[in-house]
Amino acid sequence: MNEVIQNILTRRSIRSYTEAQISDTDLNTILEAAKFAPSYRGTQSWHFTAVQNKEKINQLISVIKEALQDSPVEQFRKMGNIPNFNPFYNAPTIIIAACDKNSPEKEADSAVSLENIMLAAHSLNIGSCWISSLSIVRDDPKVIGILSELGIPENYAILGTAALGFSSKGGPKAAPRKEGTVNIVK
C-alpha cells in the first residue's frame, strides 16, 4: 500500500505520553508540514505556536481549567472540575493553531493544517491528539493573557491545538468505520 495512504489509515489519537521531548528537527518538520496545508484562496492566514516549556503549558492548563469551570455549558464545567485535569494529556509539546479572525474559512484552514501536523507527527513515530478545549475558552480574559504572552497575534482565533509526544501506551486500535457514509455517483 502507498505509504501516504498507510500513514492516514494507521494514525490514531494518543492520550498518554512519556516525558521525552520531541527533537527540534522533528518539530520543525511538523511545523513545515502545517504551513503546506491548503488554505482559503492560498491566503495562509494561520499562525502556529509551538510550546515545549512545561511551566507555560501548566499555566495554560490552569487558565483553561478555570475558564471551563465558569462555563455556562454543564459538560464543560464538569471537565474543568475533574481532579488533575490536563487537556493536553501530559504531552511535552503542544502546537496551537490560530487563524486571522477575518478569514472567511478560518475553521477549514485550521482543520487541514492540524491534520497535516498530526499526519506528519505520525510519519515520524510521534503521537498526537487534536485538542479542542483551548478553542472553547479562547475568549476568556485570563486565557487571552497567556496567549498574548505566547506571542499569538491579538486578531487571531484559536481553533485547535495538537498535543504531541511519544506514546506511553502504544496506539489504540481503530474504531470500526460507520457504514452508509459514502455515496458514489457516476
In a domain, 53, yes or no: yes
Q: What is the pLDDT of residues 25-50, one digit of tens each?
A: 999 999 999 999 999 999 999 999 99
In a domain, 134, yes or no: yes
Residue 174 has a pLDDT of: 86
**Whole-angstrom distance, CA of residue 34 vs CA of residue 31:** 5
Q: Looking at the predicted structure, is the pLDDT value of residue 112 above 90? A: yes
| pTM score over 0.85 | yes
**Whole-angstrom distance, CA of residue 173 vs CA of residue 164:** 19
Alpha helices for the chain (secondary structure H): 3-10, 24-35, 54-69, 74-80, 106-123, 133-136, 141-149
What CATH number has the domain bearing residue 44? 3.40.109.10
The domain containing residue 95 runs over which residues?
Answer: 3-165
98 closest CA partner among 174, 157, 15: 157
Counted domains in the chain: 1
Q: Looking at the predicted structure, is the pLDDT value of residue 172 above 90? A: no
**Whole-angstrom distance, CA of residue 162 vs CA of residue 57:** 13
In a domain, 78, yes or no: yes
**How does the average pLDDT of the chain come out, rounded?**
95
Q: Looking at the predicted structure, is the pLDDT value of residue 143 above 90? A: yes
Give 58's contacts (C-beta < 8 A, 6+ positions apart). Answer: none
Q: Report yes or no: 137 and 64 within 8 Å, Cβ to Cβ.
A: yes
In a domain, 161, yes or no: yes
In a domain, 99, yes or no: yes
CA distances from 53 to 13, 56, 60, 91, 104 (A): 22, 5, 11, 11, 32
